[in-house]
Amino acid sequence: MLVTTLNTTEYLMLQSQNTSLVLELPVGEAPIWRYWGPKVRDKAPHALRASRPLPSFMLDFDHPLTLAPGFGVGWFGQSALLAHRNGQSFAQAFTQCVVQWEQPERSVRVVLTDPVSAIELTVHMSMDYPSDVLTMKSSLRNVGDTVLDVQWLAAGTLLLPAQAQSVRSYAGQHNHEFLLQTDKLSRSLWRRESRRGRTSHDCFPGAVVTTDGSTECAGLVYGAHLAWSGNHQQTIEWLHDAQYQWQMGEWLAPGEGLLAAGATLNTPELVASCSTQGLSGLAANFHAELRSRLNWPGGQMRPRPVHLNTWEGFYFDVYPEKVKELATAAAAVGVERFVLDDGWFHGRHHDRAALGDWWPDESKFPQGLGDLVAHVNALGMEFGLWFEPEMINPDSDLYREHPDWALQLAGRPLITARNQLVLDISRPEVSEYLFGKIDALLSVQPIRYIKWDHNRDLTTTGLHDGTAGYRAQVHAAYALFARIRAVHPEVEIESCSGGGGRIDFGVLRYTHRVWTSDCIDAMSRVDIQRGFLQFFPPEIMGAHVGSACAHTTGRTQSMAFRAAVALPGHLGVELDARILREADAAELKAWIQMYKDLRERLHHGHVWQGAIDDGIVWQAHGDLDDAGVASDVLLLVYRTQPTNHRYTPRLPLPMLYTQAEYRIRQCVPAGTVLPTGAHNTAPFFDALNSAEGLLLDGGWLRHAGLPLPRAQAETAFIVRLTRV
Ligand code: DGJ
């Protein structure tokens, strides 16, 4: 038996600006998890086993949670690995550990070996100093001489403290992504997974764990996300010392983890963080991390151009004259990028045919797209084009020629969804075909933007050899994205999947915007966007002003509310701008101008979010100086329900500095009427709307709160606070 003494143990410590991670390194074992949380200055002061007496009727040797818990050799909880060799070698325990530092205290590879089951697991961990984001990924190498069947390999195993109380994860469906689900943690296993072959609307691969007393802007919270666009699984399990372990990884279909002798299985990345600044502090960490990863054309983000997308305006009815008229109307209200959505390619007049035939429809565009693109460019707008490369309709030339290119299983019927099948893009000839078709268009036209859609879950996901192809499909999609980006580096890509079915840090290695939801109803969007912003920054959040009434819900909201809800994201317009009443067009134009004036403020820095239990939801975008003090804040307050109070409750602003004064001015699109939707005003609000605004004390605003106007439901109130 191994003997532990009080302080002869080695430790591994990662540090970031505000957090620390500590692992204990006992000889002949995998590292033991000791700590992940707010910064501690030093390693653990004592070995774990030296500080916890053995309980009764347990194994005679203590087996705490390790970085890579194995199955069958003393650990009874969820293991980081499930594997066997034709029924043998079903138990794993790592008995050799080599620590390879890439950067002291920041980045390390822990190489673990189990000579008995002939495997080598490398866990890579790196801590980003400024963002406090921990990235983990694992690689399992089969060093034996027979096939290893891996059924589960966690990208990482994390330790959560005993104060962990609830887990906020996201469920949903088409038209309602990021539907918050809060579960209380208990001794029951918490598990969420998706087997739909894409990130999914139903189960976002990530969650937030809150601790006792944590709020939107204060208290200790933890978050983790799997950077992966395929099947996934996450588990939180109570441990016998009252702490929890949190595992996340790819859900492997049977056979997907078969590792030949010498082969390696690499997991996706697990991106995790913790913050003592509540949900908003955690969001800021994820935003900073993603911002550092986004691969912009030219190396940095340009101000996010206002879009017009043709989908809800025209659906499949994209005849060039109409589309040109729409482009003209779009340019007149200030649109900067015109995106031709579905319906432009060979035979595509409805959703029952044509996916796969990626050349312009001869009846709509007999001379190709050149004339339309030139018209759009002449109006001063960029041109963007919709594709859904991974899909094929049975009614298409491509399918008639290559029915075997669709993912399928021998002996099983093909299962269509939205009348379409999924192409096996892991076949080189299939991805070559798709690359060729997209490249042909991008090479001859100045197309600067692709909206890349993916409108169904995967079923009968069989590769040509009959094995499961979920994993191969995701890797092949990433490779196709990468190839197009390499050949057309000036092109930005939007990730769409029936709205927000493919939003994750994995696809965002290749893309620059996501289509958050097919639901453009501003009321629905308030919640969807709140969930989205927990992990993703506003500048990549496709947010459109749709028509009234909203196509997906039948609800009608004012132009001001629709625009105010879309404003903080990457703004777009998705309606038939040709038929807008003059007053509506003028109002839309004014909001677009306000977006242009504010986008620099909106698309950098922190986002804080909160709610008041009177139908009010707010978000604030601002900078923090080195002392953690907010200097320039744009505050958007949405009233979603009528007030329950005679006098509207005030809004405390927790990001403000108590020792400073702030000048506050209301932001109103030029020429529009104020106060938007208010019944009555008061001198305070008249002053806010004056050129000088009002000078108010940060401490007062932080603790006593900002007065809010008395407003109708479905209205917004926007102010800018500048530290003086
Ligand atoms: C689903 C997308 O989410 C929509 O925006 C639109 O592009 C349609 N597909 C087109 O078929």
DSSP codes joined into one string, 261-292: TT-EEEPPEEEEEEESBHHHHHHHHHHHHHHH
**What is residue 6's predicted lDDT score, i.e. its pLDDT?**
56
Q: Which residue is listed with tokens 């087996």?
A: 63
| Ligand 1 centroid distance, CA of 609 (Å) | 29
Q: Which of 176, 199, 386, 456 to mutate to test the pocket of ligand 1 (most atoms within 8 A of CB)?
A: 386
Alpha-carbon span 23 to 2, nearest angstrom:
18
Cα 388 to ligand 1 centroid, rounded to whole Å: 9
Residue type, 215: T
Pair 243, 162: CB distance under 8 Å: yes
CB atoms within 10 A of CB 414: 13
Supply the residue whose CA is at minimum distance from atom 9 of ligand 1: 498
Cβ–ligand 1 distance for 587 under 6 Å, the answer no
CB 50 within 8 A of CB 34: no
Please tell me the distance from the alpha carbon of residue 670 to that of residue 586, in angstroms, as a whole number. 10
- Find out whether the beta carbon of 518 lies less than 6 Å from any atom of ligand 1: yes
Give pLDDT, residue 231.
Answer: 98
Cβ–ligand 1 distance for 499 under 6 Å, the answer yes
Q: Does 496 contact ligand 1 (Cβ within 6 A)?
A: yes
In short, whether 515's Cβ falls inside 6 Å of ligand 1 is yes
Nearest CA to ligand 1 atom 6: 311
Direct distance between the N- and C-terminal alpha carbons of the chain, in angstroms, rounded to an integer: 66
Active site residue 404: no
Q: Is 341 in the pocket of ligand 1 (CB under 6 A)?
A: yes
Angle between helices 559-566 and 582-602 (to 10 degrees): 20
In short, whether 455's Cβ falls inside 6 Å of ligand 1 is: yes
CA of residue 312 to ligand 1 center, whole Å: 9
| Residue 518 is among the residues annotated as catalytic for this protein | yes
- Cite the beta strand spans of 388-446 per DSSP E: 391-392, 421-422
Name which of 156, 117, 229, 142 is nearest 478 in CA terms. Answer: 229
Dist. CA 499 → ligand 1 center (Å): 7
Give the residue ranges of DSSP H helices in 505-651.
522-532, 559-566, 582-602
Q: How far is the CA of 423 from the centre of ligand 1 (A)?
A: 18
Give the Cα separation of 232 and 192 in Å (integer).
Answer: 8
- 173 Cα–ligand 1 center, Å: 15
Low-confidence ranges of the chain (pLDDT < 70): 1-8, 674-680
- Expressed in angstroms and rounded, the spacing between residue 28 Cα and the centre of ligand 1 is 54
Ligand 1 contacts CB of residue 231 (under 6 A): no
- Residue 457 contacts residue 498 (beta carbons within 8 Å): no
pLDDT at 626: 75
Residue nearest to atom 2 of ligand 1 (CA): 498
- Comparing CA positions, the residue from 382, 387, 394 lying closest to residue 448 is 382
Region of 285 (left: φ > 0; alpha: ψ -120 to 50; beta: rest) is alpha
Residues 668, 639 contacting (CB under 8 angstroms): no
Confidence at residue 656, expressed as pLDDT on a 0 to 100 scale: 95
Question: Which amino acid residue places its CA nearest to atom 11 of ligand 1?
Answer: 342
Q: Which atom of ligand 1 is nearest to the CA of 386?
A: 7
Q: What are the distances in angstroms from CA 692 to CA 476, 593, 632, 724?
A: 56, 21, 16, 12
Which residue, among 707, 664, 716, 723, has the nearest Cα to 689 in the 3D structure?
664
CA 497 to ligand 1: nearest atom = 3
Residue 613 buriedness (CB in 10 A; 0-12 / 13-18 / 19+): exposed
Q: Which of 341, 454, 456, 574 to mutate to test the pocket of ligand 1 (most atoms within 8 A of CB)?
A: 341
Quote the ligand 1 centre to 33 CA distance (angstroms).
Answer: 45
pLDDT at 8: 62
Cβ–ligand 1 contact at 313 (below 6 Å): no
* pLDDT of res. 603: 98
- Residue 262 has a pLDDT of 98
Q: Annotated catalytic residue: which of 424, 453, 457, 504?
A: 453
The two tokens of residue 259 are: 């590792």
With a 6 A CB cut-off, is 500 part of the ligand 1 pocket?
A: no
Distance 678 CA to ligand 1 centre (A): 36
Ligand 1 atom closest to Cα of 496? 3
Ligand 1 touching residue 314 (CB < 6 A): no
Selecting among 202, 457, 518, 521, the annotated active-site residue is: 518
The string over 211-233, giving b where at least 16 C-beta atoms fall within 10 Å of a residue's C-beta and e elsewhere, is beebebbbbbbbbbbbbbbbbbb
Tell which one of 309, 340, 342, 344 to mutate to probe ligand 1, the residue whose CB is within 8 A of the most ligand atoms.
342
Q: Which atom of ligand 1 is nearest to the CA of 311?
A: 6
Of the candidates 156, 82, 75, the one whose C-alpha atom is nearest the C-alpha of residue 119 is 82
| Ligand 1: centre distance to CA 518 (Å) | 7
The residue nearest atom 10 of ligand 1, judged by CA position, is 342
Tell me, what's the pLDDT at 429?
98
φ, ψ for residue 51, nearest 5 deg: -115, 5
311 touches ligand 1 (CB under 6 Å): yes
3-state helix, strand, coil in the chain (%, to 5): 20, 35, 45
Which atom of ligand 1 lies at the shortest distance from residue 342's CA? 10
Most informative mutation of 348, 513, 515, 517 for ligand 1 (most atoms within 8 A of CB): 515
Ligand 1, atom 1, lies closest to the CA of: 498
**Ligand 1 centroid vs 214 CA: distance in angstroms?**
38
CA distances from residue 51 to 5, 42, 46, 241 in whole angstroms, order as listed:
10, 17, 7, 12
The rounded mean pLDDT for the chain is 96
- Distance from residue 563's CA to the centre of ligand 1 (Å): 21
342 Cβ below 6 A of ligand 1: yes
